[in-house]
Structure 1
Amino acid sequence: MEKAEGKKRWWVVLVFYFLIAFEIFYMVSPFALYYYSVYGKGLDLLNSSLVTKWLASFFLPHIVVETKSHWLDMHNYIGGILAAAGFLVFLCGAAQIYYHKFTGRGAVTGGIYNHIRHPQYAALAVSGFGMLLLWPRYLVLITYTAMLFAYYFLARAEERECLAKFGESYNDYKGRTGMFLPVRINLPDRLRSFPKSGALRYLSLAAVFLTVTAAGIGAANWQKNYALDNMYILYARDSAYISLSEVESGQLRRITDLALSDESVRSRVIKKGPDSRFISYVLPADWYVAEIPMNDIEGRGHYSPGGYNRSLYKIVFTRTELNTQEDVQGKEIILRASGLTPLVEVTVDLESNKVTEIKDTPERIRYENVPTPVF
């Protein structure tokens, strides 16, 4: 029975990481539309309520490529390294366990287990944090926090099983190793006043979980504001112009003014009414990002090559759906955005100082009605 329960616990952990990795993979693959026809319904449900819209939103840049912050520019690379490294350590731990199981060598206490009692859970925590950096939805953050709590209780349950099976030898091993870190921190000794059983224990655990989750959401909100403060953005009363690449503020204003100098462009935007709010994306003319409602490049999800022409840009104007009834301006337009309706796509040439192309937005948007990153 204990072995069966252990297997069930492992399946829950692995399914969680599979789902996150699955979303990342499909968002950058040609099969994304088919995947989101099923998975997207759950996100649509969250996005349909003003109370839960924020859960499907992102707190770190996903479509913006260049910012004023090295951390923001590198977080995807850091996330990828952590996700891969954690998974490799997880495999190493699994290899040790199955080697001992097949050879009948008893409890695993050597190798990485000589320093950490639960390196597989520690590795999954690291890998999960990497995935969170790669796919920073608030929903993933909350689920990841729940998984960290699950790791602790799964580890405690496994330790009880090992004590029952291996006795004093495992107790000695437990006394000289750390649970998840090479440094031994005896958490139960530090929480002697924590209720041992009964309803009060579960209420206390719920309170701790909610406190940690709230702290995580607060940190994510801080990161979101930090990101917006370090991106290349031009704000107006009713608009936010987000540049995906590095650009000086004066040049960004020149790009947007040049696009709006065309009467046909201006009429498409202004006719939406004085109460409308807009988020427009400025990017080099040969770049493409699938999450922006723009004319696509066949077979590509993201295309942002270096060495781009710094005098040729395109702007995708969109009208913004907000998750509030309040009159918002400036940065709040981005913070309160929950959906985008494409209006027009414009290409400008700074050298010739003119609009070179105006395109209607596509009738079918790749991720239409799917909550995607705003920045």
Structure 2
Amino acid sequence: MFQYGYWEIVLINSLIFIIFAFSFVRPKNATDWRVFGTFSAFIIALFTEMYGFPLTIYLLSGWLSKKFPELNIFAHDSGHLWYDILGLSGDPHTSSIHIASVLLINGGLLFLAITWIFLYRAQRKGVVAIAGPYAWVRHPQYIAFIVIMFGFLLQWPTLLTIIMFPILVTMYIRLAKIEESESIKFFREEYLAYADNTGRFFPRIENLRKKFTSHS
């Protein structure tokens, strides 16, 4: 049974995630809009294959039919390709892979909301954001987006989103560097001192030690 063609679900889910992301990103220039547009394309491609038309399953149908002859490749559950490839049995929604993907997606969304709170407060005061997640890394908002996308790849991999994922990660890295250059021009020594003590995407080990030591 061909369990796809639910275009209203594609539309609703895409709008929910895109509007949610837009509420935090608020693109200001052409670079911001390119990154946001690519993220939106990632979301639309994902939900199109999840509920609309399974392009990846269709393109891989010959290989999947030979590799897994008993698999109903066009059943909705078969879209959980990691589950199929690993030869797992049972309901894919209760597997450790699916649970991990849900935790990553929901955790990324929650982390994005938290980072926005601290960034918004700093912007209102006109100061460098150094509280909350920004005390550990300089760009926690982009970490959140990467985690969300990785969670979706873990849950429902498609050829398009697998190709788009490294492109988006690269764009986030470039955007982070652009924002840092702008922050240095605006905040000068204040931001330079912050950047010297805080990692871009990963907490610095020496700072972790200092913070844990100071609280012990």
1:164 equivalent to 2:179? Answer no
Could you say which structure has the higher strand fraction?
A: 1
Amino acid at match of 1:60: W
Preserved CA contact (<8 Å) 2:119 2:129:
yes
Select which of 104, 111, 116 maps to 1:94: 116
**Cα deviation 1:2-28 (Å, max 9, x = unaligned):** 94235414522541453255337x62x
Looking at structure 2, the residues matched to 7 and 143 of structure 1 have their Cα atoms a distance apart, in angstroms, of 17
Gaps of 5+ in 2: 1-26, 63-78, 207-216
Looking at structure 2, the residues matched to 143 and 184 of structure 1 have their Cα atoms a distance apart, in angstroms, of 31
% identical aligned pairs: 25
Preserved CA contact (<8 Å) 2:122 2:128:
yes
Select which of 42, 47, 57 maps to 1:22: 47
Between the two proteins, the alignment pairs up a number of residues equal to: 160
**Cα deviation 1:283-316 (Å, max 9, x = unaligned):** xxxxxxxxxxxxxxxxxxxxxxxxxxxxxxxxxx
* SS of aligned partner of 2:184: helix
Looking at structure 1, the residues matched to 191 and 150 of structure 2 have their Cα atoms a distance apart, in angstroms, of 30
Looking at structure 2, the residues matched to 20 and 83 of structure 1 have their Cα atoms a distance apart, in angstroms, of 17
* SS of aligned partner of 1:178: coil
* SS of aligned partner of 1:116: coil
Could you say which structure has the higher helix fraction?
A: 2
Gaps of 5+ in 1: 51-56, 186-375
Looking at structure 2, the residues matched to 64 and 178 of structure 1 have their Cα atoms a distance apart, in angstroms, of 36
Question: What TM-score comes out, normalization by structure 2 length?
Answer: 0.61
Select which of 69, 94, 109 maps to 2:130: 109
Larger RCO: Structure 1 or Structure 2 (Cα < 8 Å, ≥ 6 residues apart)?
2
Amino acid at match of 1:8: W
Distance change (3 Å), C-alpha of 1:13 and 1:106: farther
Q: 1:142: Cα distance to partner?
A: 1.7
Q: 2:106 is matched with which residue?
A: 84
Distance change (3 Å), C-alpha of 1:108 and 1:18: same
Equivalence map 1:136-151=2 (5 Å): 136-151=157-172
Structure 1 vs Structure 2 CA RMSD? 3.6
Looking at structure 2, the residues matched to 156 and 184 of structure 1 have their Cα atoms a distance apart, in angstroms, of 21
Question: What TM-score comes out, normalization by structure 1 length?
Answer: 0.37
Q: 1:171: Cα distance to partner?
A: 0.7
